[in-house]
Chains A and B, each alone.
Chain A
Amino acid sequence: MSVIVLVEHDGGVIKKKNLEAVQYAAGIAQKTGETATAVVLGTIGAAEMENLGQYGAQKVLHVDDARLNDLHAPAYARALLAAVQKEGSKLIVTLNDINGRAVAPRVAVQLNAGVVAGALIYPDLENGFVIKKSVFSGKAFANVNITSDVKVIMLMPNTFPLNKVDGKAVVEKLAVNFEEKVFNVKVKEVNKVTGEIALADAGLVVSGGRGMKGPENWGLIEDLAKELGAATACSRPVADAHWRPHHEHVGQTGGAIRPDLYIAIGISGAIQHLAGVNGSKTIVVINNDPEAPFFKAANYGVVGNAMDILPSLTAAVKKFHQHK
């Protein structure tokens, strides 16, 4: 038997978080004495798929159908079900991201499978099939036992570092017949934000709050983000005041993010904001109020005026990159 993992790609390129999913599926397979089989959909080169072996996949089932280049959750689910059937699988892994949240529930329903959305650990097999996930927007964790025979795990992206090993996956074609209705949702228009790093998956994020005083000062944030290769974000009051677009709002009612580095500038750290960012590995807080609650959640803190600190931090990053 094998663990099935859905591996998406962006125009033929498999991203880091999808490699992480493969590695995670392979890790579980190792524990349960199975193998990991990746399911890849749409138009993509063979080499890219074979490389999944470097993250532990032994086999790739490729559904080579150009209609799958866009998300069609029912079609994706159908393809995964075909793979499950072929491999006799009892465990399916996807990511807990936008597409994963559309596809995994559909697979789970069709297999009567229990789902954990946002897995943070490898399953604990000694006490059942227990997986830790974040609840209450990061204010707590729950240990969830999946009691059904077939199980679906949605891995939280950016949870495990990648470890490349030697290996090459065997790529097999998987033919799937799709009913027309799985393509009911038609894409009319796509607007990708170009030149910016997408916030949801960014490893580094620079974020500004009310302490930035006004939208006219955001250049300082953007300069630092550019130097770091980071995405930009903001707190709720900033989005509400229309200083920044709403999609940049992180927090309990905005987006929740889990970057490696979160730099918060002029954000006091209300509980709702912390809920959206407390999955970050490292937090740097820059604030002129030494009492700002955010400092308690931070790894590194700088007390002082953001308008002075930001240019010198940007300069320091520049220097670091030049000497590296």
Chain B
Amino acid sequence: MKILICISQVPDTSTKIVLKDNNTLVNSQGVTFVINPYDEWYALVRALELKESGIANEIHLVTVGKADTEPIIRKALALGGDQAVRIDADSNDPYLTAFYIAEYAKSIGYDLILCGKESIDYNNGIVGAMVAALLDIDYIGFAAGIQIENNVAVVKREIEGGEETDICNLPLVISCQKGVAEARIPNMRGIMAARTRPLNVIAPSVQSPVTAILSYELPPAKAGVKIIKPENMDELVNLLHTEAKVI
């Protein structure tokens, strides 16, 4: 069984967002970039577990990004990916990203495609479902547990107000979140092996984006906190009712 993991490069969770060029770009200077946590901690690690338990034989990685994304790809290889492909394009349009990934995936043929439930930069959470649609295969989102037996996936996933367990034949795209696996740290053996694992760069085919980010804004500063004395909880409740109008 071949698994494809879609990984995306994002600013580290502790990054403070600074804008530049008249608010049309996010300043990347001084920003530490990481593998999108949902892709790494859950999707990739679950795939590694499936390989370790003999269910999967090959784990491939794909990312859409320029050469500056290679350190995160190497890290994913160090964690245990067998080989990687970088589609040499800069995209923040989810459709375009999905298009590139689907095109590549079609050329190889995967039994299972895993991605994170969303990337923590653009917070779209729709690329996985788009890839499934483009490949005309099924999709299960917000997975919290994945079991594969005899080419059938049993997926525990989040629903509103609870959890449900779905069953679906492969091939399948699954977006992963907490519960699917536990984060791992690349070990020395993996780090040294990463150098020898193939990282191929392929040129994107011609395709136009269907959205464009025109500008960014930072959230307005909070007006300031109103401090209420611990003994005045009636006052707090009153403010929540009359001023904030939330209760």
Contacts and interface: CB of A to CB of B under 8 A. Distances in A.
Given A139-B15, A193-B161, A299-B244, 5 more contacts: A10-B160, A115-B211, A184-B169, A252-B120, A253-B120
Interface stretch (B44-52, B63-71, B78-86, B123-131): B123-131
A46 interface: no
A80 interface: no
Interface residues of B, number: 80
Interface of A: 10, 71, 73-74, 77, 97-99, 101-102, 104-106, 108-110, 112-118, 127-128, 130, 132-148, 154, 184-193, 196, 198, 200-201, 203-204, 228, 246-247, 249, 252-254, 256, 260-261, 271-272, 275, 278, 281-282, 284-285, 295-305, 308-309, 312-313, 315-317, 319-320
A239 to B, nearest CB: 8
Contact of B226 (A187, A300, A317): A300
A291 B15 CA distance: 21
Contacts of A252: 13, 37, 120
A127 B212 CA distance: 12
B219 interface: yes
Given A118-B123, A137-B120, A193-B161, A145 B129 contact: no
A144 B120 contact: no
Contacts of A285: 225
B244 A302 contact: no
Interface of A is mostly: mixed
B217 interface: yes
Interface of B: 11, 13-17, 19, 26, 37-38, 41, 93-95, 98, 120-127, 129-130, 132-134, 138-142, 144, 154, 158-169, 178-179, 209-219, 222-223, 225-231, 233-234, 236-241, 244, 246-247
Nearest 5 A/B pairs, CB to CB: A114-B210, A198-B161, A105-B129, A304-B230, A109-B133
Nearest to A109: B133
B13 A253 contact: yes
